[in-house]
Amino acid sequence: MWKSRVLKPSASIDKVIVSEAMGDPPYGGLPGAVQAFVMQALSAEYVPGELPREALIASHTLAYEAEVYNGGHVSGFLGNLGIDNARWDLIAEGLDRVGLPGSAAIFADFRAFARKHPLRFRSWKREYPQYDPFFEELDSRVSAEPQYCIVLALHAWLEDKPWIEQIPDSDYRALNVARCLVPPHPLQQQRRDLRAPRVEADMRALRKALLKGRGKQRG
Summarised one tens digit per residue, pLDDT across range 113-154 is 999 999 999 999 987 778 899 999 999 999 999 999 999 999
- What average pLDDT does the segment 193-198 reach? 80
Task: Read off the pTM.
Answer: 0.86
Residue pLDDT, tens place only, 16-59: 999 999 999 988 899 999 999 999 999 899 999 999 999 999 99
Rounded to whole angstroms, the Cα distance separating 133 from 123 reads 10
218 confidence band (pLDDT: 50, 70, 90):
very low
Report phi then psi at 166, rounded to 5: -95, 130
Tell me which residue of 217, 199, 188 sits closest to 10, measured CA to CA.
188
Rounded to whole angstroms, the Cα distance separating 28 from 111 reads 29
Residues shown for the chain = 219
pLDDT for res 199: 66
Rounded to whole angstroms, the Cα distance separating 53 from 36 reads 15
Rounded to whole angstroms, the Cα distance separating 175 from 173 reads 5
pLDDT for res 144: 96
C-alpha 32: how far from chain center:
11
Tell me which residue of 3, 1, 50, 48 sits closest to 194, measured CA to CA.
3
The share of the chain scoring above pLDDT 70, in percent, equals 90
